[in-house]
Structure 1
């Protein structure tokens, strides 16, 4: 039913997840946490975007939720996926057809906080596997934060690690020496020198004389040199303020090897910490290990944001109708941070024309966004083409009414020409063009003073209008394009449109992402100013 409560969805999902984990059952003896994770598709009013690009040598796909116009969490998730995709494509082997699949699940959602877990699954390469990360959006600050921000301080982080270590000791019968990675280092440090454990963590650790799987007389303890090595490798709690975004991210770097980086909240109200079964002796044939940190222990370590996140996760807003996804937050806006990525803006002048729809087909195969600098006089001749161009996420730019040299006009003439073109585009798409490209790139002070549009030129000119040579056009674009380039084409020439499949494939192979002019410049556009590229030197 459409009005099924979120609480019920969580319970059913958790139960199904428990049954689907190999080696786990409701009667199992091993500790197990029922993690709260939701597919974005389960929430009414929350839009998602799914993209797949398949070529002869590779396949990439991704899905992400659209949380509103240029929402910070959408931008961060999408940008991280793009970074991972670029790294994947730049490292492709010479044979086979590797695949990268990226996805997002919701860990919590309310008006106060949204949590997501991203996953990247690589196959067909030597070091394939799954990479995960979690992100939390705090609506009060408008910041995207790391997992460390869920904890009160670094002493609480240490306490949480010791709690997880105790679950492995008691539930999986592991000795201190068998505890994997950072858990083992912190637990062994605490066992060897209880005074080194911060006050906030001491209550979560067993007394030194209790059975830990080693001999009570200390014969299982490591020698002093080994302890010093462990101390050097394991983070020592400092005085970082995890409520401060910058310090929380710095702490996430220090604790990067922590299994808590992939935590969720459990249906019981505690934490669910995911571990690789290969790192947990006695885990059996389980597909994954989800270790519980009980609610009362979580109470001692969570920050204010952590409390909000837990409340959102376990269903303080149980009715999906109360969630901040009411169907209005579906506009994507800018979803890539091009300062961090290999972005390129493909631009097409002088249309729309008879070849524009064929060009749109080519762009669609790569989920490529482009910018079309249209002539106002042609918009009325090809309204369906303009409407489709806009509907498929491309940007419309102003290229004057009928390609007049703006430097030959008065200030009033320039303003009227551009306004007439803006109106023609807005009548079809509902939006006026945000930028201007003057014909021939010709401009002067009169032009810049007469317009509120940022003026966009280019740094890669394919000279397609002159050569009409498909191969030469593609080769020039591929050899000259750099991160942040604005590339000039004309979609009124068949030879230019025929070059685009090779351009798209070649730049995609190099790890480029195809964005609009507004996306590539971000907040750097200013009315009346001239911009040629957004290259990062």
Structure 2
């Protein structure tokens, strides 16, 4: 996932929307990409949509800071059977995160501390092949700019593959020649630039790390900004038609092409087991007659989920105390685990919007803010039948542009546990118990095991002190 420096305004645009499609000369789009440019989704997606909820045993590995001075959010999928591929993604994400955090600490990041956002998109998950794209926006130093990399897993061979492994080694010269031809005459390129880019084969093959098949079998190759042309021109995309590229594909590439065009509907990577945590079946009436003018109320809120590993346990804890909470969910996690979101609502909890990929919304345009929030609201409604009315801006960062871009009501907090910073269940519990006041809105996260482990002590202690646990909307309505 190579990256190149871009102007700040370009950094905020989506990964593929900056690109110019070779076949049409018009901006290419990828409506399935978490960071795709807002407004571009009206055009057809070049790749077939993958429903991650159908991947058995899928877990989304998410983490983020809550500090606006060094804001970061990362996510990548962990699919049973693709252990080696998961390890590669984890290594790359950790390297970029370590570099970014070091730059924040030594002051080499931007004046406001900068931001790192790594999101994921499934390209194909069918038969015995799996393809995932990680998109990086922001960062600092060597890891700065806009970068994409596609990761591939060959279940038949039981190994990870690179993007270039889609092309047979004996056909790569013809393949590279076709790519160069597709770039010639494009704005921002010239013969000297292409000679330099294609002359160094070792460097060029390293740049060929974002490749995926279209729904019609063509091969779409995306070059990061600055790789083959002027960086300010954005990404360059060359799409080779199916008839052209098929003779050049490796055996693995042909299997990926087949599953991209006509998915089999199931994924089998040879995993011996695909454990999927049971979804809680707790139910509670949508009505809550707690009168917060007469009794002590507190609103527990949980950000960044749902988590396949921890949210189900949290729901069980809440049900044991007849407690209701508000979950501010991240869209890409909602899409992966809609059953958990339904379980949240079924148990009488409230589901709010926490953006699609957890960017600092104040650094986006109004159009981009709307895209992040609208896409997440649509995912929540698809999962539960109910559209959210509340949103919590990532990092608590909100301004007039963000507020004017949505009809959702912004919700911050009055008590911050800083549970993301201190992975200690006892400390998290005490941070609530020792500081809580009537009508507080408490910030927690259900992607951290120690935070979920702290909840029983919080519920037990505060219940004994006469507190009632209600949703944010209920607290607002009855104060």
TM bin (shorter chain)? 0.3 to 0.5
Return the index of the structure with the highest Cα Rg. 1
TM-score of the pair, normalised by structure 1: 0.36
TM-score of the pair, normalised by structure 2: 0.40
